[in-house]
């Protein structure tokens, strides 16, 4: 899987997320190696896709503060296959976390438009 480094020097990846009707929507998410979850998305997006609320979780933010977050079930396309996972609600931006990247190498050329490559560890 490949992404790129945007003008803000963030490593980003386009992902397909499936709504309850099975129709895929494309989102762009920032790679966040400080986020231990799978995926974080805004609530409005998850609700518009008809994703199912499955609970809540306590998240620790980069500044050390803690917030309560709703958690939704969603399905994304990962390595060419549907993957059902837990998605945390975070209003600020869409994030790919380390739980989703587990078992993969992440390579980033840290310059604008530099490639971002995610490959399974063999």
**What's the CATH code of the domain at 72?**
2.40.70.10
80: left (phi over 0), alpha (psi -120 to 50) or beta: left
* Domain of residue 109, residue span: 2-120
Q: What is the pLDDT of residue 70?
A: 95
In 52-103, where do the E strands start and end?
A: 52-60, 66-78, 81-89, 95-96
**How far is CA 67 from each of CA 1, 38, 91, 120, rounded to the nearest angstrom?**
31, 17, 12, 32
Secondary structure of residue 56 in the 3-state scheme? strand
Overall pTM surpassing 0.75 (yes/no): yes
Q: How many domains does the chain have?
A: 1
Task: Tell me the average pLDDT across 72-83.
Answer: 96
The bridge status of strand 81-89 relative to strand 39-41 is: parallel
- Residue 92 above 90 pLDDT? no
Task: Tell me the average pLDDT across 66-89.
Answer: 94
- Residue 109 above 90 pLDDT? yes
Phi/psi at 45 (nearest 5 deg)? -65, -50
């Amino acid at each position: 899987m490949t992404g790129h480094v945007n003008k803000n020097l963030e490593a980003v990846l386009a992902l397909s997320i499936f709504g309850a009707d099975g129709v895929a929507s494309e989102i762009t998410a920032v790679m966040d190696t400080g986020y231990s979850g799978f995926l974080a998305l805004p609530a409005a997006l998850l609700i518009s896709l008809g994703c199912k609320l499955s609970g809540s979780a306590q998240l620790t933010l980069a500044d050390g503060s803690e917030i309560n977050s709703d958690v939704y079930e969603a399905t994304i396309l990962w390595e060419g296959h549907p993957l059902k996972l837990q998605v945390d609600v975070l209003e600020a931006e869409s994030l790919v976390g380390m739980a989703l990247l587990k078992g993969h190498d992440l390579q980033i050329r840290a310059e604008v438009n530099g490639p971002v490559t995610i490959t399974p560890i063999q």
